[in-house]
Structure 1
Amino acid sequence: MSAPAVILSLLFGTALVMTIAMGVSWLHFGRQRHVLTWTASYAVAILQWIANAGGYFLHSRWLFILTGIGLIVSASLLAIGIRQRSGRPLQLLAFAVPAVLVSLAMAIAIGPVGSQIMQGMIIPAYVGLLMAVSALSLWPRNRSFTPPELAFFAALLAFALGQLALATSAALIRGPEEGKELYRAILGLFMPTVYVGTAVTAVLVVAGDLAQQLRQQMMHDPLTNILNRRGIEEAAERAIANARRQGRPVALVICDLDGFKGLNDGYGHMAGDAALRGFAHLLTNAVRRGDVVGRLGGDEFGLLMVDTGAEVAADAMERVRAEISCLRLGEAPQALLRASFGVTDLRPDDRELDDLVARADAALYAAKREGKNRVTVSRAAA
């Protein structure tokens, strides 16, 4: 088997495997829009490599034109998927118009003009720029790269550099054979490796996103969409460790709805669920970025407020206590919601989170004994 046949088989197989892998990921793991777009990208690539093989072995200009269009469409879909994943603004015309113009220029170069130099420059230059822009679109905002993202970013840059190197080497061609050695070396040795590398790292990104999605599901309460007990415990341990290192205050609040069982019994679980969601919303709005809010179980919630003393935290909870009395449930318009709060702060002799939890729990029970619907602060022993 000739070297071109081996390379084309490799590229076709890569596109086929990627189409299947992305398709399965989209079907079974959340049906994310960018994964479907990447599935379409590699599905087009399958047709592209078939047309490329036909053009090479049958010496058909029309098949080479289809190959060029397929490469442009496949690269454009990959770039669109990256923007979809990053949540950046997406204007389809910004991709469609240049793709059509480049396709027309490529068709003219292959057909009427028959210029090998133009053929070798137009598509690689466009795809190279598209991959470079895609790499920049992948750059995360307000956080660092994950390892899969960093690998994909590097692969996209390598793809862009390879395509731009192809375009540059095509400009150096002087005759039927003169100057083609560099072009063939880049096309035959470097680009297949980069293409496969880009495909593999794209799969790693999808797998990494899935792992993060599963972790989020494990750490969050599905009803209220805030942290669950496991999530708040892990986040609180980190926050307390940072507070100790930096010598900053931390306050812990444990709270629950007064008479929640009666609400459930009297109005049904739909009303109870609505009350929990409303309470969680009020608590989330009452804290700042960096604070931790979670549902500990049932109607009990926990908040860890960083750079905040117990008295300041109690003032914030007083506002929540007043606001929850104004909360009305569509499922139970006559229900009047009340809540109790226990507050404590981090003390020098605290060894672990459970020490704060025990004091906040005791303060919450004290609030219940004193008549409910109040905020009680745990006081240090004299």
Structure 2
Amino acid sequence: MPASAVILVPLLVCALFTAALYEQWRRMGRADHASSWLWAFLVTGGGWLVTGLESALAARFVFPGSALLLCWFAASLLGARGLRQRAQKPDRAIVLFAIWVGTTIGVSVLQDLAIEDPVLRSAMAMVVIASGAMIAGIAIGPRSRRASASAWLGALINVAFAALCLMLAFAVLRLPMTAMMEITSLTLVPLIVLCGVTIMACLNEDRAQGLERLARTDALTGVWNRRGFEEGARHLLQRFHATGGRAAAVAIADIDGFKGINDNHGHAMGDATLARFAETLRGVVGPGDMLARLGGEEFAILAIGIDGPALRQRMERVRSLLNVPSIDPNGPPTITASFGVTTLATDGSLREALERADRALYRAKSDGRNRVLLAETGGE
């Protein structure tokens, strides 16, 4: 294989995946992990470009150069960082950047030693970079057996890269340049393609999950919509009963006089009022509970681990927070809300509980609004 092909083929592959990743990054709203993976392919392609320029200036094939290896190292760090970002874990960006800078300084010092044999100098640079990759793997690696998959994969990427650098160092010292060219064409290009295809598959899965989540989320308030609530509550209650849960409760909340807000202040103020009401409810909903907008100004809460009286106290807190008047004359109007609450029986259905809570809400409205009523399990 011509020496130029060893450089041009991976450079073209990196360019194609960079373009594809850019499109995914743009469609995903500039997601952080997509950005890290995009930069990984950018710096990989940049390494091959620098190697091509070095080869052209030297009028011979230059491999492996320190610039290329440092770009590969940066790509492995960015790949590991993207994994952590995808898992919503701390990305350790400062730590990884410090390791890369330290490794680069180490390689630079090695070059300043002016080792006459370029092959030996390249092999030693690979060993230095392998050491940096091992340190990075330890820095972002798992701290326990129960660590997240992102921690294990991030460490594995850098450990695998360290092993690759050590194998290349051995190959440089033992094999002629023509053999190195063949190894490069047979292993590195498929490896780049495999990484690119895997990343694209992950991003396609993320986009599909995002679209699925949007179909189950209320666009205005950011809480679940009716479809998302029904499906999510079903799975939540299945786990709840399977683990022997004893307490659960349901509440339905409704803004009092919401039509008047729209009529007197406009629909924009009505939307702001709904968003503020949802945010207030979100503040008292537990991390394992569900909050949904069923439609209009009506919201539902499914709380796990507490009974109706305990959920009633939470709704009383929401009611008191809503009654605080606004100090901004141009701000949203002061609102009140009515609530119906019930305990979810261990052998009862969610639909029955919602019906009881809805009847309690109707009574709260009939009794003058701005109150929380508790419906007993056996009836009102």
Same topology, TM > 0.5: yes
- Aligned twin of 1:287: 285
1:320–1:47: structure 2 CA closer, same or farther, 3 Å change rule?
closer
Where structure 1 has 5 or more consecutive residues not aligned to the other structure, the ranges are none
Q: 2:208 aligns with which of 208, 211, 215?
A: 211
Distance 2:327 2:193 in 1: 55
Query: Which structure 2 residues correspond to residues 7-26 of structure 1 after superposition, within 5 A?
Result: 8-26=7-25
- Aligned twin of 2:116: 113
1:290–1:73: structure 2 CA closer, same or farther, 3 Å change rule?
closer
Distance 1:56 1:294 in 2: 61
Q: Would the aligned equivalents of 1:72 and 1:99 in 2 still touch at CA under 8 Å?
A: no
Give 1:250 deviation, angstroms: 1.3
Query: Which structure 2 residues correspond to residues 294-313 of structure 1 after superposition, within 5 A?
Result: 294-313=292-311
Distance 1:48 1:72 in 2: 10
Q: Would the aligned equivalents of 1:227 and 1:293 in 2 still touch at CA under 8 Å?
A: yes
1:43–1:169: structure 2 CA closer, same or farther, 3 Å change rule?
closer
Distance 1:126 1:265 in 2: 67
Query: Which structure 2 residues correspond to residues 128-167 of structure 1 after superposition, within 5 A?
Result: 129-130=132-133, 133=136, 137=140, 145=149, 153=153, 157=156, 160-161=159-160, 163-167=162-166
Per-residue CA distance 1:101-141 (angstroms, 9 max, x = gap) = 144146447x6533423412423652574388369749799
Per-residue CA distance 1:2-23 (angstroms, 9 max, x = gap) = 5x66654542333122111111
Distance 1:327 1:282 in 2: 14
Distance 1:339 1:213 in 2: 32
Is 81-90 or 191-200 further displaced after alignment? 81-90
> Is 1:358 matched up with 2:361?
no
Give 1:297 deviation, angstroms: 1.5
Match for 2:261: what amino acid? L
Is 50-59 or 112-121 further displaced after alignment? 50-59
- Aligned twin of 2:274: 276
- Aligned twin of 1:371: 368
- Aligned twin of 2:43: 44
Per-residue CA distance 1:198-256 (angstroms, 9 max, x = gap) = 22222223223323332332222232222222222222112222233314221110111
- Aligned twin of 2:91: 88
Distance 1:293 1:329 in 2: 28
With normalisation by structure 2, the TM-score equals: 0.80
Q: Would the aligned equivalents of 2:340 and 2:360 in 1 still touch at CA under 8 Å?
A: yes
% identity of equivalent residues: 27
Per-residue CA distance 1:141-189 (angstroms, 9 max, x = gap) = 99964xxx69x938x7367325425425635877776xx98x8897565
Where structure 2 has 5 or more consecutive residues not aligned to the other structure, the ranges are none
Distance 2:39 2:240 in 1: 48
Match for 1:194: what amino acid? L
Match for 2:19: what amino acid? I
1:207–1:143: structure 2 CA closer, same or farther, 3 Å change rule?
farther
Distance 1:176 1:62 in 2: 12
Per-residue CA distance 1:40-75 (angstroms, 9 max, x = gap) = 332332242244356568326599455345445544
Match for 2:117: what amino acid? G
- Aligned twin of 2:101: 97
Q: Would the aligned equivalents of 1:271 and 1:331 in 2 still touch at CA under 8 Å?
A: no
- Aligned twin of 2:249: 251
Give 1:368 deviation, angstroms: 1.0
1:35–1:335: structure 2 CA closer, same or farther, 3 Å change rule?
closer
